């Protein structure tokens, strides 16, 4: 009989260790995802704030300078202010349309669930079958496609827990 590239664990202890390791790995992936999303959102927000302020300064300052010196070229100032305003609007809309805040909120909720699951597994306060089921539920709640949904079919078939397939769009590792 040929074996697949995933060898099922021999004992319940091995299964528990593999599950614990997968939970830790998913926890780390989720933290990295949240950090990246927070950085990207903060970057867009900073660019938007700076460009809005610059557009305001160019508009108000340009009008003041033009009236004071009468020879100040106001068209380049207005064009620069308009460009800054457009950049600001684009950055704000990128944050809104990407659903960053919702994804970040979901990532933090799932991260809390993973942390609780990890602790219960480490303290051996959770039966293996229930741990596998909870892990599968957490996988369904992952916030985005950047985090692979690693199912544990090789563990579930060995532990007596029900075997559930991952969503068809999710890659299985």
152 located within any domain: yes
Quickly list DSSP for 58-77: HHHHHHHHHHHHS---HHHH
Per residue in 81-103, pLDDT (tens digit) is 999 999 999 999 988 887 888 88
Total structural domains within the chain: 1
Residue count of the chain: 173
Return the SS3 of 113.
Answer: helix
For residue 123, pLDDT over 50 is answered with yes
The percent of the chain in helix, strand and coil, each rounded to the nearest 5, is 75, 0, 25
**What radius of gyration do the chain's Cα atoms show?**
26
CB 16 within 8 A of CB 122: no
Residue 76 lies in domain: 12-159
44 located within any domain: yes
153 located within any domain: yes
pLDDT of residue 159: 43
For residue 67, pLDDT over 80 is answered with no
């Amino acid at each position: 009989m040929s074996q697949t590239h995933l060898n099922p664990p021999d004992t319940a202890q091995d299964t528990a260790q593999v599950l614990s390791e997968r939970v830790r790995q998913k926890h780390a992936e989720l933290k990295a995802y949240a950090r990246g999303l927070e950085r990207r959102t903060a970057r867009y927000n900073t660019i938007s704030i700076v460009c809005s302020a610059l557009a305001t300064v160019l508009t108000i300052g340009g009008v003041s300078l033009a009236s004071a010196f009468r020879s100040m070229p106001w068209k380049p100032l207005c064009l620069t202010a308009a460009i800054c305003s457009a950049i600001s609007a684009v950055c704000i809309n990128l944050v809104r349309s990407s659903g960053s805040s919702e994804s970040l909120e979901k990532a933090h909720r799932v991260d809390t669930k993973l942390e609780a699951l990890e602790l219960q597994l480490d303290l051996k306060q959770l039966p293996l079958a229930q741990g596998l089921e909870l892990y599968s539920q957490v996988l369904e709640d992952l916030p985005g496609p950047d985090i692979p949904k690693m199912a544990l079919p090789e563990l579930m078939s060995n532990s007596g827990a029900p075997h559930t397939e991952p969503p068809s769009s999710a890659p299985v590792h």
